[in-house]
Amino acid sequence: MSYLDSIATMVSGLDPARPLVAEYGSRLFRLGREDAYVVQVVHTNAGFLGESGLIGHADFCVNGGRLQPGCKGHLMRVARCSHFMSACYFSASVSKRLRIVGVPCDSSCPKQDRWGIRPGGRPLKLGDDVPDTARGMYCVSLDHQQNCPFD
């Protein structure tokens, strides 16, 4: 069996952790494109509790990638809630309760004022059927006000 035969077909990174991995872990502990044929990443608290920028083959920067609607309280509570919303969004997409679609945008995440939407690019649906050919950052805009609204 070759190395390529032993790697997973698809891996999904749900706001991959940043602080402890950045401080104590080597590059071997970080999620990357070499971990599967298709690596999709959902960024919901990028640059604080989650990794920033393009990590996988198809990265989804949700609501600018930093703070999620419905998360309230002091800064750490909002950050933690935003970080965990990646699991809620992915679950809702896989269970088909919500169709989450991203449009191609520039490779930064979190986004500041402008998302850098790339006109003419094909939208991509988040979930368990991301095509092998998917590449780049996809910006997603979701509007909700409750924590994990897709239970």
- Evaluate if pTM is beyond 0.85: yes
**What is the domain-level CATH number for residue 12?**
3.40.50.1820
Convert the pLDDT of each residue in 17-54 to its tens digit: 886 666 766 677 788 898 899 999 999 999 999 999 99
Q: Residue 34: inside a domain, yes or no? A: yes
Count up the domains in the chain and report the number: 1
Q: What is the pLDDT of residues 79-125, one digit of tens each?
A: 999 999 999 999 989 988 788 999 999 999 999 877 888 888 899 99
Residue 107, C-beta contacts closer than 8 angstroms, at least 6 positions apart? 53, 54, 59, 136, 137
pLDDT digits (tens, 9 = 90+) for 123-132: 999 998 899 9
What domain range is 130 assigned to? 8-140
Q: Is residue 150 part of a domain?
A: no
Tally of CB atoms within 10 A around 117: 11
